[in-house]
Structure 1
Amino acid sequence: MQSQRLMLNEDQRALIGAVRSLCKAKNFKGNSIKYLDGTYPSENLQDLAAIGVLGMSIPEEYGGSNLPVFDTALVLEEIAKNCYPTAMGVMSSLGVQTRVIATYAPEHMKQDILPKVATGEIALAVCMTETHAGTDVPNYKTNTVIRGDRAIVQGVKTLISKANEAQWFVVFTRIDGTPGRDGIGCVLVNRDSPGFEVTARYHTMGGEYLAEIQFNQVEVPVENVLLRQGGFKKLLTAFNTQRCLNPSISLGLAEAAFEEAISYVRERTIRGQHVSEFQGIRWKLADMYRDIEAGRSLLYRAALTANPFPDPHEAAIAKMFVNEMAIRVANEALQVHGGYGFTNDYPISRIYRGVRYGTLGGGATEALKDLVGKRLVESFDPVDGFLSQGTF
């Protein structure tokens, strides 16, 4: 009996096919080694913009295609299979920063910014993490004071992606010093604003750079305050998209690691036998495939809940599992390669570097486990349990 799998529609298959063909034609996989030194894959981003990838999260009236979260997750998965730095670059055009602007920015800002994002003319970044607080958003210290028709931003953000490439930054900030989560909103800041300064750069093991940014009394029009006090829930709701896109990259990397392992053991021989004939190796491959498919099911289910943003519980569960699954799969794939896997000459080394990011960005695994555990305890029905509610 043939197994039942999620069937993609014709448009989704055409989209994935176009991305796959481009990645092969431009040799994304073979060229990915040159980005280990932190070089930004701008040429890849431009090629992807030309086929509409960078506009997938943007409404049609602003030059995008306004595709569902599920479709964007499929595309990121395919790109990550070929080039991790490129997938990370694309995520910033599809993620929370784009969706916040598309949802909450004034009309003239949408008309000015979003079409340029879709064509790759400009890039966006999101500023969340601070030195003392990452996932702990309610304790952010960056503050924005509103004075008449102006807003003044003061604070420091760290571990920011695309700090050198982005033109606009969506900054999670406290508004007028209001304490706690009720005080969190967000402000849109242009990198050319006086007082905006990139003060440190950190080269990651995945190849890309992260940066520290200081906002030294950065003054912007008050209309750049996209969300004021009480915006915390809206921001985190939008951020659930990131919790589907981040593991999409992990899933793509896990698939790439698995394929590299299969290719290697089919060719490698020991004492006249192909390594693929060893039972221990076959068991490793079976475990890797099982975990990838389990992760795919959780992630796709979470992405399909988006309306327009994914269910936070489903997204957190998918992210936790897929991020950790990808690390296990990449580790086993490297082990299968033996010493060769430890060299940069084999793609598995680069995959292994990139896959480690997943559990750190977009909400650390430990924080998400706490959130999920809290919800499970609170929502448990002592009479009907979970199954009758469709939770599992």
Structure 2
Amino acid sequence: MNFELTSEQRSIVGTIREVTQGEFKGRAQRYMDGSFPWENIRRLAELGVLGMAVPEEYGGSGMNVFDTALVLEEIAKGCYVTAMAVLGEVGSQTRIIATYAPEAFKRRILPAVCSGDAILAICMTEPHAGTDVANYRTNTTIKGDRAIVKGVKTLISRVDEASAFVIFSRIDNQPGREGIGCVLVEKGTPGLEITARYHTMGGENLAEVQFNDCEIPLENVVIREDGFRRLLSAFNTQRCLNPSISLGLAEGAFEESVRYVRERTAFGRRIGDFQGMRWKLAEMYRDIEVGRSILYRACASANPFPDPHQAAVAKMYCNEMSIRVTSEAIQVHGGYGFTDEYAVSRLYRGARYGTLGGGTTETLKDLVGKKIMADFDEVDGFLGMGTF
């Protein structure tokens, strides 16, 4: 086993860290009002970051899940809102299009994703069903060479900026999970309406979107058969990229804490010289390193999508770890940590999202628990969630 990053990976991480720390971090507070970080997105487009999930024949770099996670981790250290905006371009929605969409649509949309001219919004959650995919009500009816989309999706990111909405939809009213497919509704389609808006504690804006008999060409029906299995396989990518942002937020808060305790004095000493404070740092560092190991292993399992159970374990741990570490970072900073002027406050608010999006912690615990019950060997016991 080799736990070292390659020289190419180190170069990529170094470049992103330089841009994030030198440019994005100083601008992070301005995006807490829900503004979209266009300035940062255009800068990342210049670096080729937005094309990480796009195959080379469509103008991207076709990077694997592991390398993509490394980039998101680094961006999240400086700006959660920017990391989430990038996730929308390199996550499941882009990989679904790149893997399953008709050729004509790929050639039309994917080069624009790479350049930052096409922002994608993934639409899964409905007002009455989030994780409960089997009870989604949004439906697409096939009519000859056209399709009609009708339904409501909620808590959707990037609705004002999106060029296309990647929608988990029932196809021809087929029941259950087996009836779920995927369709694309482009901006400006008659019947597409934003009906509610929500501002999050992390700084992003979310919205409710209605599709009122939106008529789309048949080529925009990306998946019609065996949709749930294929969509869930692609969505496991999100269960590695979401926790990569959590890991980055924890690392950012940890770095801010180390800087603070090396400078802040009390009782004539640096507060970092007190045993109690050193123990806090040690525990934060330990938790981050455990999360890194679990997450990187899950990312490395992708072929092309990650192992679902390794991804679930990584997401569970990193999401909850990030909340602990960023909260402790606020404690390290004392009263200053509770103010908007210090980055740890912003990082903590971003960390709280992780356990909610991409599959809640409770859902993933149930998924992993079922695997444990099914795979336990009475003779050999249980060696782990996958091969080493």
TM range (shorter): over 0.9
Partner residue of 1:384? Answer: 380
Partner residue of 2:104? Answer: 108
Cα pair 2:13 2:70 within 8 Å, conserved: yes
Alignment of 1:316-327 (within 5 A): 316-327=312-323
Residue 139 (structure 2) pairs with residue 147 (structure 1): no
Give the % identical residues: 66
* Change in 2 beyond 3 A, CA 1:346/1:106: same
Output the amino acid matched with 1:184.
Answer: I
- Tell me the CA shift for residue 86 of structure 1: 0.4
Q: Which runs of 5+ in 2 are unaligned?
A: none
* Pairing partner for 1:97 from 83, 93, 100: 93
| SS at 2:162 equivalent | coil
| SS at 2:33 equivalent | coil
Output the amino acid matched with 2:83.
Answer: A
Partner residue of 2:71? Answer: 75
Partner residue of 1:187? Answer: 183
* Change in 2 beyond 3 A, CA 1:5/1:285: farther
TM-score by length of 2: 0.98
- Tell me the CA shift for residue 229 of structure 1: 3.7
- Tell me the CA shift for residue 87 of structure 1: 0.3
Aligned length: 388
Output the amino acid matched with 1:155.
Answer: G
Instruction: Kindly provide the CA deviation profile for residues 181-222 of structure 1, in whole angstroms up to 9, marking residues without a partner as x.
Output: 010001011021100011111000000101100000011112
Partner residue of 2:20? Answer: 23
- In structure 2, C-alpha distance between the alignment counterparts of 1:250 and 1:24, rounded to whole Å: 17
Partner residue of 2:280? Answer: 284
Output the amino acid matched with 1:38.
Answer: G
Residue 40 (structure 2) pairs with residue 40 (structure 1): no
Residue 262 (structure 2) pairs with residue 266 (structure 1): yes
Residue 15 (structure 2) pairs with residue 11 (structure 1): no
Cα pair 1:56 1:64 within 8 Å, conserved: yes
Partner residue of 1:240? Answer: 236
Alignment of 1:190-201 (within 5 A): 190-201=186-197
- In structure 2, C-alpha distance between the alignment counterparts of 1:391 and 1:132, rounded to whole Å: 38
Cα pair 1:178 1:229 within 8 Å, conserved: no
Instruction: Kindly provide the CA deviation profile for residues 135-194 of structure 1, in whole angstroms up to 9, marking residues without a partner as x.
Output: 111111111111111111110000001111111111001111111001000101102110
- Tell me the CA shift for residue 122 of structure 1: 1.1
Residue 342 (structure 2) pairs with residue 351 (structure 1): no
- In structure 2, C-alpha distance between the alignment counterparts of 1:285 and 1:5, rounded to whole Å: 27
- In structure 1, C-alpha distance between the alignment counterparts of 2:24 and 2:386, rounded to whole Å: 41
| SS at 1:387 equivalent | coil
Partner residue of 1:57? Answer: 53
Instruction: Kindly provide the CA deviation profile for residues 234-265 of structure 1, in whole angstroms up to 9, marking residues without a partner as x.
Output: 00000000000000000000000111111111
- In structure 1, C-alpha distance between the alignment counterparts of 2:168 and 2:385, rounded to whole Å: 35
Q: Which runs of 5+ in 1 are unaligned?
A: none
| SS at 1:341 equivalent | helix
* Pairing partner for 1:300 from 292, 296, 299: 296
Segment drifting more, 266-275 vs 324-333: 266-275
- In structure 2, C-alpha distance between the alignment counterparts of 1:390 and 1:260, rounded to whole Å: 35
- In structure 1, C-alpha distance between the alignment counterparts of 2:77 and 2:21, rounded to whole Å: 11
* Change in 2 beyond 3 A, CA 1:388/1:211: closer
- In structure 1, C-alpha distance between the alignment counterparts of 2:348 and 2:14, rounded to whole Å: 26
- In structure 1, C-alpha distance between the alignment counterparts of 2:380 and 2:370, rounded to whole Å: 19
Cα pair 2:330 2:345 within 8 Å, conserved: yes
Cα pair 2:141 2:148 within 8 Å, conserved: yes
- In structure 1, C-alpha distance between the alignment counterparts of 2:226 and 2:237, rounded to whole Å: 20
Output the amino acid matched with 1:77.
Answer: E
Q: Which runs of 4+ in 1 moved over 6 A?
A: none
- In structure 2, C-alpha distance between the alignment counterparts of 1:235 and 1:140, rounded to whole Å: 14
- Tell me the CA shift for residue 24 of structure 1: 3.4
Output the amino acid matched with 1:6.
Answer: F
Cα pair 2:310 2:386 within 8 Å, conserved: no
Cα pair 2:202 2:349 within 8 Å, conserved: yes
* Change in 2 beyond 3 A, CA 1:260/1:310: same
* Change in 2 beyond 3 A, CA 1:347/1:5: farther
Partner residue of 1:121? Answer: 117
- Tell me the CA shift for residue 390 of structure 1: 5.1
Output the amino acid matched with 2:126.
Answer: E
- Tell me the CA shift for residue 5 of structure 1: 7.0
Partner residue of 1:314? Answer: 310
- Tell me the CA shift for residue 273 of structure 1: 1.5
- RMSD (Å) for aligned C-alpha atoms: 1.3
Instruction: Kindly provide the CA deviation profile for residues 17-44 of structure 1, in whole angstroms up to 9, marking residues without a partner as x.
Output: 221222234x211110001111110010
